[in-house]
Amino acid sequence: MANPRVIIIGAGSAGVRAAQTLVEGGMRPIVIDESARDGGQIYRRQPEGFSRPKSALYGSETARAEALHSTFDDLKSRIDYRPRHLAWNIADGHVHVVHEGASDALPYDALIIAAGATDRLMPVKGWHFAGAYSLGAAQIALKAQASAIGRRVIFMGTGPLLQLVASQYVKAGAKVVAVLDTSPFSAQIKALPKLIARPDVLFKGIKLVAGLKLSGVPVLRGITPLEIHGDAETGVTGVSVRLASGEIRRFEGDAVGLGYHLRPETQLADLAQCAFDFDAQTRQFRPRIDIDGRTSVANVYLAGDGVLTQGADGAEISGRLAAFAALADLGHAMPDSRINTLRQDRARMELFREGLAEAFPWPHSLAAGIPDEAIVCRCEGVRASELRGVALEKGASELNRAKAFSRVGMGRCQGRYCGHAAAEIVAAATGLPLEKVGRLRGQAPVKPLAISTRRVDS
C-alpha cells in the first residue's frame, strides 16, 4: 500500500509512543489531540507562561514525563499534529473531527485510538453540590490552573489515584482533611501476590500513603460514604461516612474529590463497531483486543487507558504494540524480539492491574443503598427513585431503554460519569446480572458540538 494514512487519536502516553514507533517505521501519522498540548492527563503540560517546576507537577514520575514530552517535541516535524481537535465520530473509514467550529472527515487506512480514561464514579447523596469534583478534575485544577478545588479538601473513593491526588494536594500546600477509602486494608493484603509483579510501583504506593500519614492526614479504609453535606447556596460543607468499626463520623470541608479507579473512554471504539466483552472482575464492558491491541475491526487498534488501565508506563507499551501491529498489517517487517519483550512487559502490567482491581474493588454494592432522593445523573437531574421506577414499573431493565424513559446519560457528559452507577442501580433494583442490564451505547457526537459547527472538506 503506497503512503498509507495512519491516524492516532490521543497524545498521551500511548499516543506519543505509537507516533514514535510509526515514525521509526517510516510513516508520517496524523495525531489528533483534543487538548492544546500533548501529555494526556497524567503528564498534562501546564499552560504556556506557567512556571511551576516539573517536580511539583509530576513528583516521582518527573523523569518519565520529561522523556515523553521531549520525545514528542522531537517528533513534531515528522508528524501531522493537530491539537485542539475533537474526534467526535468514526464512521465509514473516516474520523470526524472538529476544530474552531469546522468539522472535517479524515479517511484512514489504519486507526489507533488512544483516548485515555475518565473517573469512575458512584453517586452519593449531595454529590451535585458545588465543590464536589472528580479526582481527575481535582488533578487538572492543580496542574493546569495551579489552584486547589477548595480550602479544606476531602478525598473519597478508592484506588491509587485517590492517594496520588491527595498527595499532590499536600505537596502543593493545600489542606487535605482526610482520605476516605472504601476498600478494606485486608483486600490490599490479599492482592499482594499480584501487586508484587511490579515491586517498584507497589513501593511508590506504600510511600504515598506513608507520606500522607506523616503529613497528619487521616487515611481511613473500609468506609461507607453516606452523604456529602451542603446546599445550593454555599455548596459543600462536609462529608459523613460510616467507618469500618460502624461509627458514623462527619468531616468538615468545602470541597470533595471523588473517584473509584478509572473507566476507559470507549465511545469512539463503539462507534468504530468494535466488539465488547463483559469483564466480571471490574464489572464493566471493555472492547475486545488481542495482546497487541488489534480489535475485532480490521485496521482499528486500541492502546492505553482507553481499553486497559495499566498506568502510564503500561500505556506506553501498549502504544508501541498497537503501532507495531498496524505496521505489520500494512506489510512492514517487524522486530520480533522487541515485540516479544513488549508483550512480556504488558503481561506483567496486566497481572498488576488485576491485583489493583482486587485491592481496590469497585464498590458496586453501594448502589442498592443510594437514597431515592439522591441525584444519579447530574447533567439531567435524574434521581435514583426515577431510575428505579422506570426499571421496575416500565420494564426498562436494559440500560439504553432506561435511558430513553428517564434521560439518564443524555446530558453533556453522555453518561461518562453516571453510566456505570446507573447500570448498577438498575441491576440491584431488578435483581438482574449486570451484564444483562448492559451498557450505554456510544452516540455521535461523543461530546457536544456547537450548533454553528460547519463542515469542511479535507
- How do residues 403-427 score in pLDDT, each as one tens digit? 999 999 999 899 999 999 999 999 9
- Give 231-263 as a DSSP string: ETTTEEEEEEEE-TTS-EEEEE-SEEEEEESEE
- Beta strands 276-279 and 284-287, pairing class: antiparallel
pLDDT, position 42:
77
- 43: amino acid identity, one letter: Y
- Residues 136-153 have pLDDT tens digits of 999 989 887 889 999 999
3-state secondary structure 123-161: CCCCCCCCCEEEHHHHHHHHHHCCCCCCCEEEEEEECHH
pLDDT band at 329 (very low <50, low <70, confident <90, very high): very high
Q: What angle do CA 280, 274, 88 make, to 5 degrees?
A: 110
Question: Quick one: cell of 74?
Answer: 522531537
Q: Is the preceding peptide bond at 361 cis, omega within 30 degrees of 0?
A: no
Measuring CA to CA, how many Å separate 166 from each of 186, 200, 228, 305? 22, 20, 18, 21
Q: Which residues contact 193 (CB under 8 A, 6 or more apart)?
A: 355
Predicted confidence (pLDDT) at residue 1 exceeds the cutoff of 60 = no
pLDDT, position 43:
81
Q: Which residue has the cell 474526534?
A: 87
Q: Which of 30-39, 50-59, 125-134 has the highest mean pLDDT?
A: 125-134
- CATH class of residue range 121-260: alpha beta
Do 365-437 and 6-118+263-356 have the same topology in CATH?
no
Kindly state the average pLDDT of the residues 231-249: 97
> On the CB side of 10, how many CA atoms lie within 13 Å of its CA?
31
The CATH number of domain 6-118+263-356 is 3.30.465.10: no
Predicted confidence (pLDDT) at residue 428 exceeds the cutoff of 60 = yes
CATH number for the domain running over 365-437: 1.10.10.1100
- Residues 288-306 have pLDDT tens digits of 999 999 999 999 999 999 8
Measure CA of the first residue to CA of the last residue in the chain; give whole Å. Answer: 21
Q: Which residues contact 187 (CB under 8 A, 6 or more apart)?
A: 358, 359, 360, 361
pLDDT band at 233 (very low <50, low <70, confident <90, very high): very high
Q: Is there a contact between 304 and 286 (Cβ–Cβ < 8 Å)?
A: no
DSSP label of 61: G
- The domain spans of the chain are 6-118+263-356, 121-260, 365-437
pLDDT, position 185:
94
Q: Which residues contact 275 (CB under 8 A, 6 or more apart)?
A: 287, 288, 295, 296
Question: Quick one: cell of 439?
Answer: 451498557
- Residues 83-118 have pLDDT tens digits of 999 999 999 999 999 999 999 999 999 999 999 999
3-state secondary structure 284-324: EEEECCCCCCECCCCCEEECHHHCCCCHHHHHHHHHHHHHH
Q: Is there a contact between 323 and 288 (Cβ–Cβ < 8 Å)?
A: no
pLDDT band at 458 (very low <50, low <70, confident <90, very high): low
